Amino acid sequence: MKAKLTLNRDFVIGNVDERIFGSFIEHLGRAVYNGIYEPTHPTADEKGFRTDVMELVKQLNVPIIRYPGGNFVSGYNWEDGTGDPTKRPRRAELAWHTIETNEVGIDEFQEWAKRAGSQVMQAVNLGTRGPEEARNLLEYCNFPKGTYYSDLRRANGFEEPFGIKVWCLGNEMDGPWQICAKTAEEYGRIACETAKIMKDLDPDIELVACGSSGLGMPTFGKWEATVLEHTYNYVDYVSLHSYYSNAEEDTPSFLACSLDMDKFIKSVTAICDYVKAVKHSDKTVNLSFDEWNVWFHSNESDKKLERWQIAPHQLEDIYNFEDALVVGCLLITLLKNCDRVKMACLAQLVNVIAPIMTENGGPAWVQPIYYPFMHASNYGKGIALSPVVNCDSYSTKKMKEVPFVETIGILNEKEHELTVFAVNRSLEDSIEFEIDLRDFTGATVMEHIVLENDDLKAVNSSTDPNHVAPHKNGVTKVKEGSATAILNKSSWNVIRFRLGK
Ligand code: AHR
């Protein structure tokens, strides 16, 4: 099979906001306890953080991490996780039906994120709580000194404000599973009033309003429009959440799910711009895709979990090679929409539907989905160029024209690099992939990284951590203004070109 990609410096989608490579840590399962934090672990530092996990997080290069939930945040008292750790209350946690010990809270997570080189995207509880607690938490985190909560932070050992820039106004408030879920009217009003006082206290923050918790929600569309009608002047982003599944064991359809993500993004963008129009506003509200991933492998075992455990093995999806291909397609889709998607969070980061796994007291290792994310976050910075693609397509039960190649080019002018990310969705054929480089004279190939495996279901484990891992033996040749790359069947490819100065 053959395919062609044309890239041109003038066909610009937009600058990639680095925060598109964000992630998420929720107080859920073993994400925090026995994930990032395990004081008795041989690699633990003086704060109890696992340094082996920290190293893997750093390599992933995650600029922003959403915290502390997720569903968890809608029942959370943030004060429980501050001050003397020996005096913190244990709570029955109603989102995931576990016991929350509160050993780790906002203070510790700030410290951990700083060490990981990440900013925190802080969510406030608009479920059981409301504007007052959101204001108090913001005062605790960002106010310099001389007020009750800022001085409480200082008394807890943090003289300097945390300076948290991005705040989520609740989580999935449209979902019936959410603690104190709301109608769009109810949420729109409370989010608006919370946003007003938060921006009054700290005008430098950015706020994310809850969009629908999925494209398939019955209230989708109407929800966004109503919420934005209330909040448009006070918020900067609307959130999107989506998880994809191959429970039906239909890999061609599964590999096409990024087209669904694209439709979701385009629809929410249209709704934002509709509200902009009816408000005669000059302001543009952008998108925060702050939960996305594959999630289905752990569904059955989670149904059997006993309630009220501390840090149970919950949502521990074991990802295989085909999941990594899907994550690659989803990353390319986010990049293709970077003119409006400014932030996105791979949900989640450690143990819970995560690229990084740990054993309690044992090793940490990475799942296959770790690699496309790491490649994208390391080489996907710069200007996203609109991909003009010619290639064959296939049909699935739900979709008519699924292109065999999913691809994007990112121009990094500062580093004089051009990176092409490409997934070959074909399960049978390799593709001769021509890249038109006439606008990039003097380009040479730096490397062609490939993630591939004969077994779509291949996984990594603590005893075989490198079973699915990328190699650098991809074949790309440059000749007279074009490059020809071989995209092996079902593969993730990163083709890096050095550009002439
Ligand atoms: O990421 C797991 C859960 O998925 C989050 O807590 C929730 O927001 C979503 O439904």
- Pair 72, 99: CB distance under 8 Å: no
Span 421-432, pLDDT tens digits: 999 999 999 999
Classify strands 22-24 and 482-487 as parallel, antiparallel or unpaired: unpaired
Question: Of the candidates 128, 118, 113, which has an alpha carbon nearest to the alpha carbon of residue 32?
Answer: 113
Span 454-463, pLDDT tens digits: 999 999 999 9
pLDDT value at position 76?
A: 98
d(CA 493, CA 328): 9
| pLDDT exceeds cutoff 90 at 411 | yes
Residue spans of alpha helices (H) in 16-147: 51-60, 106-116, 131-142
Q: Mean per-residue pLDDT for 127-151?
A: 98
Local confidence band at 149 (pLDDT 50, 70, 90 cut-offs): very high
Decide: helix, strand or coil at residue 3.
strand
Residue located nearest, by CA, to atom 9 of ligand 1: 70
In short, whether 34's Cβ falls inside 6 Å of ligand 1 is no
Residue located nearest, by CA, to atom 4 of ligand 1: 70
Q: What domains are defined for the chain? A: 3-8+385-498 (2.60.40.1180), 17-379 (3.20.20.80)
Q: Mean per-residue pLDDT for 175-204?
A: 98
- Pair 403, 486: CB distance under 8 Å: no
Q: What are phi and psi of 108, to 5 degrees?
A: -65, -40
Task: Give the nearest ligand 1 atom to 293 CA.
Answer: 1
Ligand 1 centre to CA of 160 (Å) is: 31
- Pair 364, 56: CB distance under 8 Å: yes
Indicate the burial class of 412 (C-beta count within 10 angstroms; 0-12, 13-18, 19 or more).
Answer: middle
Span 20-53, pLDDT tens digits: 999 999 999 999 999 999 999 999 999 999 999 9
316 is a catalytic site residue: no
d(CA 153, CA 292): 33
In short, whether 348's Cβ falls inside 6 Å of ligand 1 is yes
Ligand 1 centre to CA of 172 (Å) is: 8
Q: Mean per-residue pLDDT for 69-92?
A: 97
pLDDT value at position 359?
A: 98
Q: What is the DSSP letter of 309?
A: B
| pLDDT exceeds cutoff 90 at 486 | yes
d(CA 38, CA 54): 12
pLDDT value at position 480?
A: 85
The model's pTM is 0.98
Q: Which of 172, 206, 406, 417 is catalytic?
A: 172
pLDDT value at position 1?
A: 96
Local confidence band at 496 (pLDDT 50, 70, 90 cut-offs): very high
- Pair 29, 311: CB distance under 8 Å: yes
d(CA 59, CA 445): 23
pLDDT value at position 71?
A: 98
Local confidence band at 500 (pLDDT 50, 70, 90 cut-offs): confident
In short, whether 68's Cβ falls inside 6 Å of ligand 1 is no
- 32, 140, 240, 358, 386 from 366: Cα distances, Å: 17, 35, 26, 9, 31
Q: Mean per-residue pLDDT for 380-391?
A: 97
Local confidence band at 106 (pLDDT 50, 70, 90 cut-offs): very high
Tokens found for residue 213: 């918790």
Span 220-245, pLDDT tens digits: 999 999 999 999 999 999 999 999 99
172 is a catalytic site residue: yes
In short, whether 291's Cβ falls inside 6 Å of ligand 1 is yes
In short, whether 347's Cβ falls inside 6 Å of ligand 1 is yes
Span 277-325, pLDDT tens digits: 999 999 999 999 999 999 999 999 999 999 999 999 999 999 999 999 9
| pLDDT exceeds cutoff 80 at 501 | no
- 29, 73, 236 from 95: Cα distances, Å: 11, 9, 27
Q: Is the peptide bond before 361 cis (omega within 30 degrees of 0)?
A: no
